[in-house]
Amino acid sequence: MIVVDTNALMMPVECDVRLFDELERLVGDRELVSPEAVVAELEKIADGNGKEATAASVGLDLSDRCEAVATDADYADDAVLELASHPDATHAVTNDKPLKRRLLDAGVPVISLRGQHKLAITQP
């Protein structure tokens, strides 16, 4: 199970990354999940204007490819950490530096942007 964060779902627009192709290249075909708090965050951002709102709108559409999972945490970063700490989780996907640090400190491998259009895994 791979846990997908808000900014990961926005990467296709913001960073021109083929997110799902890159994930398959790195880890093969795996179950993708996203906390319900991430979906709510995308909805909130998508209500705005500009490039970020467009990226969030696309991310919201892409989130349909992930199972939305309820968590105890309301804040998206905490919810990602909660799911990524589950024994079935193998990786988390995020470009959020503070969240990445928290995940690595918790022993979770993190998939993030490396180079212009490629993702890479950082091991704890």
> For the chain (length 124 residues), average pLDDT per consecutive 10?
96 93 94 97 94 94 96 95 96 96 97 90 95
Domain ranges for the chain, please list them: 2-122
pTM: 0.93
Q: Which residues contact 79 (CB under 8 A, 6 or more apart)?
A: 35, 36, 37, 38, 71, 73
Q: Which helix (H) or strand (E) holds 35?
A: strand 32-35
User: What's the CATH number for 2-122?
Assistant: 3.40.50.1010
pLDDT reported for residue 11: 95
